[in-house]
Amino acid sequence: MAFDRRKFLKVSGLSVLGLWAKSAADALAGEKPGFGITEKLLHLFRKPVGFASADALTAKKWAMVIKVRNCPTDCHACIDACDYVHNIPDAEKMPSPRHEIKWIWQDEYKHAFPDQQHEYVEERLKKLPFLLLCNHCDNPPCVRVCPTKATFKREDGIVMMDQHRCIGCRFCMAACPYGSRSFNWVDPRPYIEKQYPEYPIRVRGVVEKCTFCAERLAIGKIPACVEACQNEAKKHGREPALVFGDLEDPESEVRKLLRSHYAIRRKPELGTGPQIYYIV
Amino acid sequence: MLEKAFVGGRKYWIWMAFLLGVIGLGFIMYLWQWRYGLGLTGMGRDVSWGFYIAQFTYLVGVAASGVMVVLPCYIHNYKPFAKVTILGEFLAVAAVTMCLMFILVDLGRVDRLLNMILHPTPNSILFWDMVVLNVYLFLNIFIGWVALSAERKDVPPPHWIKPFIYISIPWAFSIHTVTAFLYAGLPGRHFWLTAIMAARFLASAFCSGPALLIVFCLIVRKVTKFDPGKDQIRTLGGIVAYAMILNVFFFLLELFTAFYSQIPGHMHSFIYLFRGLEGHARLVPWMWTFVVFAVAALVLLIVPATRRKLDTLLVGCVCVIIATWIDKGLGLVIGGFTPNPLGKVVEYWPTGPEFLISLGVWATGVLILTALYKIAISVREEAGIYKA
Amino acid sequence: MYDGGKIITGLIIGIGLIAFPIWLNAGKAVKKADPKLPAKEKQCVEPTQYMLTNHMEVLDLWRDSVVRLGDRYFISFDGKKYRVSLQNTCMSAECHPKKKEFCDECHDYMGIEPYCWDCHIEKGEKK
């Protein structure tokens, strides 16, 4: 027989191995992040799509500096803005607090920096709100462990989420040393205060987190939290707390701030290289 | 040979019907979980892996233990184990099947499972876990089936099965090492960030697995005409003894590093498990039960008199199984997530549906085990082989 | 044949169950798919015939483009620039804003349920 079942199985098996071998080679060679062999194969036979907008905000390394002194204790404009533009369900409405979704949230100094906590911490610091979010690490453990590359690091430094691909294994949640990731334990739809029509909702069964508003950067807008902070600060005649920019641009505001202030990061000893800097 | 699983006496069918009932209930609960989401379980943002993954971890250990019968038989020519290897291999098949099922019920989007194969990611340990577990399942089914077919025809097994058997030995070590690597490489989880995680896993596997095997051998001895052999069971008892000593020793090593260094990150999980942290003490009674059963197991297994006598050996093995199950099936996963990365304690406990789904998966494994053992024993009874 | 009675009974029950959809729907005509086309826009991002047969591929390509490559703009075959977005382009007010009137018409007819709308919301969808 020219091409029988045996031969077919042999060929299929070798093809799968070949696919994996190439993927391994890609991974070792440091291919374009998030775009592996299967994506390339699929796009071989279809017309290439797309380009980035001319007015997209680009950078070599996006980072955020948080000037904690400028955060008033009762302000949560950034959290509200993020929750709104990303259709994040209202934690208080959800069946259980353990199901909450949070991309950016507030906590005390002793929880933000538990290793720096001691009895005689400055009183001011004890009361200051610390904003916590995904650190978009240089060396992210979550990206290392994701079995499907559903979370991957972009060339501009953003650790991105592909909700289409996530299988909900939650390995990334175990790997993240900062507790930045949330999982959709239930369908979030009924608990969303007001739907924001330009951004999708997530389905139950996938992980999500802050993406530095990649969808806004692509159309020339700064992250929602930063914009909300700037608006709120202007309204009350004070300095904004959240500063966003390109660390590899020596003239960016974030670089200037880091040059002139001492900044701390969360759990730097773990080697993750977090890109959220706190000026305390 | 499969037809042998469909022929049996009254007790066999009542047992299988009972298992099918439990499986059915678990399945209905799973349909509910599919509809509602994993929120049906006790897991949450802080403890994002729970009972399912804990059972998976325990069962990978049980699966790896098949090697404890195969290794002496094939590498060291310990011929008394020749008729027991099939029982070890079939136990491994049932255990790995349960492992894979526990992963499936734990996934948020099972319908996207193929993404792991379409987008292979060699830097992810979960990818390698999928590979090694599936290959190990295949190896054990293949080897077991071929060896049993040969026995049935009263011929020695074909020579080409030997390489597969030899590969299955280091492969068994690899499945549990890779599973340990799931935990041991995560930078934020200090309870798991220890070099001896893989060693602990293997030690725990090599006492819990053979202990289960001894229990099953004693059951087989009681309800069928086949006798796996007193000497074989006693040798297995010796293996369980050494492995349990090593297991407890490794645990004590962990305690030393944590409490002599006095580093908070290392100590906190142990304190939560054994004393309670910030008023949360759900697991404390369970962990001390683990200690009691571990000590009892050590006594019964180390003292030669109690290890030799089959009834005390059985008690010792049950103690091992209970102790290792609490340690790996409850303490390990929950302890790793508590306290959370921000230092807060959020307690986890499985919910009713979560427990019933788990029971359904366990029942599936026991069903497969019963069927496979029935086939193996029937083949032997037919061939007139009643003793190992 | 041995156990003839049981076999024939089993066959009748089996075939009856398998053919259940056929004899349940016998004689009924399913409503023809009638998707409501947009009032003003006459041309989609691709030629109509291509979209009819390949819109799934287009959307699959679009989602990888946006999420994985960050390429959010697209020039169609007739030179128009579109934002690559199911929610904001395909389902915009000018084109196909109502899933029930457009997408569901053909999908229901074919008996398929793509789960795009588990996440992608319609503008003005009820809470």
Q: Is there a domain that residue C49 lies in?
A: yes
What local confidence, expressed as pLDDT, does residue C26 receive? Answer: 81
Residues C89 and C107 in one domain: yes
A185 with B38: Cβ contact below 8 A: yes
Residues C39 and C84 in one domain: yes
A194 with C127: Cβ contact below 8 A: yes
**Whether the predicted pLDDT of B194 surpasses 90:** yes
Please give the C-alpha separations between residue B24 and each of B36, B110, B355, in angstroms, as whole numbers: 19, 19, 14
Q: Where are the domains of chain A?
A: 5-44, 62-279
Give contacts of A170 with chain B, Cβ < 8 Å: 48-49, 106, 108
Does A46 touch chain C if contact means CB atoms closer than 8 Å? yes
Q: Is A48 left (phi over 0), alpha (psi -120 to 50) or beta?
A: beta
Nearest-CA distance A165 → chain B (Å):
7
Q: Is there a domain that residue B276 lies in?
A: yes
B201/B211 Cα distance (integer angstroms): 15
B322/B312 Cα distance (integer angstroms): 15
Helices B310-326 and B284-302: angle between axes, nearest 10 degrees = 150
What local confidence, expressed as pLDDT, does residue A23 receive? Answer: 61
**Whether the predicted pLDDT of B114 surpasses 60:** yes
Question: Strands A207-208, A182-183: parallel, antiparallel or unpaired by DSSP?
Answer: antiparallel
What local confidence, expressed as pLDDT, does residue C29 receive? Answer: 77
Residues C63 and C90 in one domain: yes
Nearest-CA distance C118 → chain A (Å):
6
Nearest residue of A to residue C97, measured between CA atoms: A197
> Would you give the DSSP letter of residue A98?
G
Take residue B322 and report the two structure tokens written for it.
């209970």
B112 with A112: Cβ contact below 8 A: no
Q: Is B369 left (phi over 0), alpha (psi -120 to 50) or beta?
A: alpha
Over residues B67-88, the mean pLDDT reads 90
Residues C11 and C57 in one domain: no
Nearest-CA distance B114 → chain A (Å):
9
C87 with A219: Cβ contact below 8 A: no
| CA-only gyration radius of chain A, Å | 22
Take residue B293 and report the two structure tokens written for it.
């059963």
Give residue C13's domain range: 1-30
Among A8-17, B89-98, B105-114, where is mean pLDDT lowest?
A8-17
For the stretch B192-196, contacts whose Cβ atoms lie closer than 8 Å and that sit 24 or more positions apart, written own/partner, are B192/B332, B192/B336, B194/B254, B194/B257, B196/B250, B196/B253, B196/B254
**CATH hierarchy code of domain A62-279:** 3.30.70.20
Question: Strands A276-279, A62-67: parallel, antiparallel or unpaired by DSSP?
Answer: parallel
Residues C42 and C87 in one domain: yes
CATH label of the domain that carries residue B92 = 1.20.1630.10
Residues C67 and C13 in one domain: no
- Going by pLDDT thresholds of 50, 70 and 90, the confidence category of residue B87 is very high
Sheet holding A242-246, edge to edge: A242-246, A62-67, A276-279
What local confidence, expressed as pLDDT, does residue A30 receive? Answer: 42
- Report pLDDT digits (tens) over C56-90: 988 988 888 889 888 888 888 888 888 888 998 99
Residues C80 and C103 in one domain: yes
What local confidence, expressed as pLDDT, does residue A44 receive? Answer: 61
Q: Is there a domain that residue C125 lies in?
A: no
Does C76 touch chain A if contact means CB atoms closer than 8 Å? no
Residues C59 and C70 in one domain: yes
Give contacts of A271 with chain B, Cβ < 8 Å: 187
Please give the C-alpha separations between residue B253 and each of A71, A140, B140, B292, in angstroms, as whole numbers: 46, 30, 34, 18
Nearest-CA distance B9 → chain A (Å):
40
Please count the structural domains in chain B.
1
Nearest residue of A to residue B111, measured between CA atoms: A167
Please count the structural domains in chain C.
2
Q: Is there a domain that residue C51 lies in?
A: yes
Over residues B305-311, the mean pLDDT reads 94
Residues C4 and C46 in one domain: no
Smallest CA-to-CA distance from B312 within B297, B323, B322 is with B297
B97/B363 Cα distance (integer angstroms): 11
The beta-carbon neighbor of A148 closest among B39, B119, B187 is B119
What residues of chain A score a pLDDT lower than 50? 28-31
B246/B10 Cα distance (integer angstroms): 42
- Report pLDDT digits (tens) over B139-170: 999 999 999 999 888 899 999 999 999 999 99
CA–chain centroid gap for A25, Å, is: 27
Give residue B231's domain range: 2-382
Is the ipTM higher than 0.90? The answer is yes
Exposed/middle/buried for residue C26 (C-beta within 10 Å: 0-12, 13-18, 19+):
exposed
Does A42 touch chain C if contact means CB atoms closer than 8 Å? yes
What local confidence, expressed as pLDDT, does residue A38 receive? Answer: 66
Q: Is there a domain that residue C99 lies in?
A: yes
C87 with A197: Cβ contact below 8 A: yes
The C residues from 105 to 124 touching A (CB cutoff 8 Å) are: 115, 118-124
> Tokens 């998030």 sit at which residue?
A34
> Would you give the DSSP letter of residue B185?
T
Half-sphere exposure of B53 (CA within 13 A, CB side): 26
- Report pLDDT digits (tens) over B28-68: 999 999 999 999 999 999 999 999 999 999 999 999 888 99
The B residues from 248 to 277 touching A (CB cutoff 8 Å) are: none
Q: Is there a domain that residue C56 lies in?
A: yes
